[in-house]
């Protein structure tokens, strides 16, 4: 593969954790909740995958299973806090991240210090992977890469073409009216938070598979970048794919810089900070992007319902 | 009210009364005390279960933590120094939070403060009086922190960028810069940290490692308190936090409040960075991010209910847990980050028991 092919191929692999997390976050935000705990959920997902791989004979699928279970538990806890108890979502999310960091660091020091790694199986899509240039880049990837892009289309369909998407939009823009129309806002938000956290945790599992071995603070802001991706993509799941790809390629630069000549002279720390700088620049360009009106505001039903 | 005239504003005294009720810990009733105790008990219960699972027991852990945090004057001194860091990062969160501006980037502002502290300290001419050198460095670090805070603040004020995202991104940039300082800009030979700074804050308590950092942090808290309760700016910050639209209609500038609170918060966090370097450790070590001092400052501010006065006890409590975690590591082999689980759980439970609450303007509901 040529250097540019490697760069994009790697960028696509690195895009996946953020893509999963961003799609999960999109569903959550479109139900009216801001999950700042996304970073912690991703970290716990990555740790769950590490545990699954280390105690499951090196099978990545057991890792994914544990990550999904961990994401489910995170989702239940966060849904209880954000929705049922109506705690402030930003500070709850930040505190959740602290707990997730402390928990995974403590547990990994004890249980997975000499971590095994495991990869998702690769799948070269017949016929198209022979295409010049794009074949190697796009169609010789992990199965999870294809799954993540398919998921983006799925989420697009879910949010734009089904009753769930319609109700979710109502719950995130004007929950009081949605409630009057007979919608159980709480139940919808429960479902959204739990599903979103499971997707985020799968992203964490892919992050683990990408690099192998679990270290403290493994996610390194990828969850927060996913938060920004959702804003930049204006809550459109298909644009989320492109935005994630942009950040994936930006992250890939630090690994390929030596072979890209002109980038070789730039200190590696600047390249490593580049994704975060890019978020700041992109946020300025996305100035018109507006959160759904009720995002971040706890909802109290007028009549008591479960 | 005659038609055509603007609606009368509520008398200023009533607004101030409402603001005061938010400043003081509201209604310390038996019920609220019971809830705090319930939250603390639930935290300890969850933590005890966790310790059991990790093959340690609560009694041993409790003794290790209390002994290494408060056991003798030397250990208590360590706790006080850690508390001075947390007081500053606590202020960095508390002041913007009062305006409902979520500066969650105290961590990065502190890192940049530490970075600049080392940069200035290594390059200042030798031979200046110690007090002057320290003053120059500390002011430089505070300015640096303020600049790091200003960027999200200005982005909030001008393009209404989500300050949670921007301040977190600034944090990761600052950590990258700090890591670069450790392994590229000012490396110290074999050990994994930056060069040691040539000037240190003088010790003020014999037999301990308590330095000038502690009084500086306490002064910062007093300044924070004075700003919030004795100035027009503090009044505006609180008014914007209560209802930014109402504040805007009363002639206050929400953009100005965003910029000023972020700069102030950043300056306090920058001070935390310089206290760490000049008053505690003399160099920036690899793995500094494991401490999460900036994020823990948010916990400190929340438990203090964003009131500067309560930040001092709140910081000492959490610093005790942090220093205690070192003792826990020595006696049980658990990672020092174990204390962060306890702190995070406690704050989450306080939130769950509705002991920390935020008001949302009616209009947005």
The whole-number pLDDT of residue B16 equals 60
Residue written as token pair 């005890």: B48
User: Residue A226 and residue A19: Cα distance in Å, rounded?
Assistant: 7
Say yes or no: B114 contacts chain A, CB-CB below 8 A.
Answer: no
User: Residue B92 and residue B270: Cα distance in Å, rounded?
Assistant: 9
3-state secondary structure of B125: coil
Tokens of B145: 């922190």
Q: Is the pLDDT of residue A237 over 60?
A: yes
User: Residue A238 and residue A149: Cα distance in Å, rounded?
Assistant: 9
Query: DSSP letter at B9?
Result: P
Does A300 reside within a domain? no
Name the residue range of residue A276's domain.
3-116+144-285
Number of domains in chain B: 1
Annotate A98-135 with three-state secondary structure: HHHHHHHHHHHHHHCCCCCCCCCCEEECCCHHHCCCHH
Chain B closest-CA separation from residue A132 CA (Å) = 38
What is the DSSP code string of B119-144? HHHHHSPTTS-HHHHHHHHHHHHHHH
Please state, for a pLDDT cut of 70, what percent of chain A lies above it: 97
- Which residue of A73, A98, A100 to mutate against B (max B Cβ within 10 Å)? A98
Does A290 reside within a domain? no
The whole-number pLDDT of residue B5 equals 47
What ipTM score was computed for the predicted complex, to two decimals?
A: 0.93
Chain A closest-CA separation from residue B348 CA (Å) = 6
Of B162, B357, B365, which has the smallest distance from its Cβ to A176's Cβ? Answer: B365
Count other C-beta atoms under 10 Å from residue B89's C-beta.
Answer: 32
Q: Is the pLDDT of residue A294 over 80?
A: yes
Tokens of A247: 């950040």
CATH number of the structural domain spanning residue A72: 1.10.3470
Contact across the interface for A95 and B344, Cβ inside 8 Å = yes
Closest-approach residue (CA) in chain B for A219: B172
Q: Which residue has the higher pLDDT, A196 or B34?
A: A196
Q: pLDDT tens across B91-101, in order?
A: 999 999 999 99
The whole-number pLDDT of residue B27 equals 55
- Which residue of B176, B300, B318, B321 to mutate against A (max A Cβ within 10 Å)? B176
Contacts of B155 in chain A (CB under 8 A): 280, 283-284
Does B211 reside within a domain? yes
Does A192 reside within a domain? yes
Kindly tell me the sign of the dihedral angle through the C-alpha atoms of A34, A40, A44, A49.
Answer: positive
Contact across the interface for A36 and B172, Cβ inside 8 Å = no
- For the CA atoms of A254, A276, B296, B27, what is the dihedral angle to 10 degrees? -160
- Which residues of chain B are under the pLDDT cut of 70? 1-28, 361-365
Name the residue range of residue B177's domain.
84-314
Q: pLDDT tens across A22-76, in order?
A: 999 999 999 999 999 999 999 999 999 999 988 888 788 999 999 999 999 999 9
Say yes or no: B151 contacts chain A, CB-CB below 8 A.
Answer: yes
Chain B closest-CA separation from residue A231 CA (Å) = 9
User: Residue A272 and residue B223: Cα distance in Å, rounded?
Assistant: 37
Say yes or no: B92 contacts chain A, CB-CB below 8 A.
Answer: no
Does B189 reside within a domain? yes
Chain A closest-CA separation from residue B189 CA (Å) = 19
Contact across the interface for A106 and B160, Cβ inside 8 Å = no
User: Residue B270 and residue B138: Cα distance in Å, rounded?
Assistant: 8
The whole-number pLDDT of residue B189 equals 79
- b/e for A8-42, b at 16 or more Cβ within 10 A? bbbbbbbbbbbbbbbbbbbbbbbbbbbbbbbbbbb
The whole-number pLDDT of residue B190 equals 76
Residue written as token pair 């603001």: B19
The answer to whether A35 and A28 are in contact (CB under 8 A) is: yes
Does B124 reside within a domain? yes
Q: pLDDT tens across A163-194, in order?
A: 999 999 999 999 999 998 889 999 999 999 99
Residues 6 or more apart in contact with residue A44 via CB below 8 angstroms: A70, A71, A74, A100, A103, A104, A201, A204
Confidence of residue A148 (pLDDT cuts 50, 70, 90): very high
Number of domains in chain A: 1
- Which residue of B286, B351, B356 to mutate against A (max A Cβ within 10 Å)? B351
Please state, for a pLDDT cut of 90, what percent of chain B lies above it: 58
Q: pLDDT tens across A77-132, in order?
A: 999 999 999 999 999 999 999 999 999 998 888 777 666 777 888 888 887 887 88
User: Residue B241 and residue B218: Cα distance in Å, rounded?
Assistant: 25
Say yes or no: B344 contacts chain A, CB-CB below 8 A.
Answer: yes
Listed residue (A69, A63, A76) closest to A118, CA to CA:
A63
Q: pLDDT tens across A214-236, in order?
A: 777 888 899 999 999 999 999 99
Does B282 reside within a domain? yes
Please state the pTM of the whole predicted model.
0.92
């Amino acid at each position: 593969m040529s250097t540019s092919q490697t760069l994009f191929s790697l960028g696509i692999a690195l895009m996946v954790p953020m893509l999963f997390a961003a799609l999960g976050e999109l569903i959550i935000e479109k139900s009216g909740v801001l999950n700042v705990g996304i970073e912690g959920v991703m970290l716990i997902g990555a740790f769950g995958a590490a545990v699954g791989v280390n105690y499951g004979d090196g099978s990545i699928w057991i890792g994914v299973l544990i990550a999904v279970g961990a994401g489910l538990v995170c989702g239940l806890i966060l849904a209880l806090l954000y929705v049922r108890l109506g705690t402030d979502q930003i500070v709850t999310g930040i505190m959740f991240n602290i707990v997730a960091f402390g928990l995974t660091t403590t547990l990994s020091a004890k249980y997975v210090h000499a971590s095994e790694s495991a990869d998702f199986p690769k799948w070269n899509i017949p016929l198209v992977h022979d295409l010049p240039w794009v074949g190697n880049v796009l169609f010789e990837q992990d199965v999870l890469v294809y799954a993540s892009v398919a998921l983006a289309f799925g989420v697009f369909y879910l949010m734009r073409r089904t009753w769930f998407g319609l109700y979710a939009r109502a719950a995130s823009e004007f929950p009081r009216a949605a409630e009057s129309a007979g919608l159980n806002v709480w139940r919808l938000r429960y479902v959204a938070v739990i599903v979103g956290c499971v997707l985020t945790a799968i992203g964490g599992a892919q992050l683990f598979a990408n690099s192998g071995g679990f270290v403290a603070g493994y996610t390194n802001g990828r969850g927060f970048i996913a938060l920004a991706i959702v804003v930049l993509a204006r809550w459109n799941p298909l644009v989320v794919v492109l935005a994630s790809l942009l950040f994936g390629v930006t992250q890939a630069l630090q690994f390929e810089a030596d072979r890209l000549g002109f980038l070789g002279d730039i200190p590696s720390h600047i390249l490593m900070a580049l994704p975060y700088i890019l978020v700041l620049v992109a946020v300025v360009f996305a100035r018109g992007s507006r959160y759904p009106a009720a995002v971040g505001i706890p909802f109290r039903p007028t009549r008591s319902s479960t | 009210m005659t038609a055509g005239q603007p609606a009368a504003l509520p008398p200023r005294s009533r607004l101030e009364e409402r603001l005061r009720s938010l400043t003081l810990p509201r209604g310390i009733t038996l019920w609220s005390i019971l809830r705090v105790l319930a939250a603390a008990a639930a935290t300890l219960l969850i933590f005890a279960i966790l310790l059991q699972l990790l093959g340690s027991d609560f009694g041993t852990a409790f003794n290790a933590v209390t002994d290494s945090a408060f056991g003798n004057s030397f250990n208590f001194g360590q706790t006080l120094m850690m508390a001075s860091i947390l007081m500053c990062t606590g202020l960095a969160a508390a002041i913007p939070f009062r305006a409902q501006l979520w500066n969650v980037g105290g961590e990065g502002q502190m890192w940049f403060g530490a970075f600049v502290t080392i940069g200035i300290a290594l390059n200042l001419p030798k031979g200046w009086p110690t007090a002057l050198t320290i003053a120059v460095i500390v002011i430089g670090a505070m300015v640096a922190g303020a600049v790091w805070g200003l960027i999200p603040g200005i982005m909030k004020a001008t393009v209404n960028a989500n300050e949670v995202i921007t301040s977190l991104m600034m944090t990761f940039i600052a950590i990258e810069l700090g890591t670069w300082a450790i392994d590229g800009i000012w490396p110290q030979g074999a050990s994994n940290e930056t060069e040691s700074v040539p000037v240190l804050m003088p010790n003020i308590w014999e037999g301990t490692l308590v330095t000038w950092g502690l009084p500086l942090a306490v002064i910062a808290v007093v300044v924070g308190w004075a700003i919030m309760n004795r100035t027009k700016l503090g009044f505006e910050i609180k008014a914007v936090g209560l209802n930014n639209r109402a504040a805007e209609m009363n002639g206050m500038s929400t953009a100005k409040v965003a910029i000023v609170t972020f700069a102030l918060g950043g300056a306090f966090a920058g001070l935390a960075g310089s206290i760490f370097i000049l008053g505690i450790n003399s160099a920036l070590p690899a793995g500094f991010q494991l401490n999460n001092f900036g994020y823990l400052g948010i916990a400190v501010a929340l438990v203090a209910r964003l009131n500067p006065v309560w930040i001092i006890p709140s910081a000492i409590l959490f610093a005790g847990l942090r220093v205690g975690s070192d003792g826990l590591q020595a006696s049980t082999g658990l990672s020092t980050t174990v204390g962060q689980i306890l702190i995070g759980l406690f704050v989450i439970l306080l939130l769950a028991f509705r002991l920390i609450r935020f008001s949302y303007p009616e209009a947005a509901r």
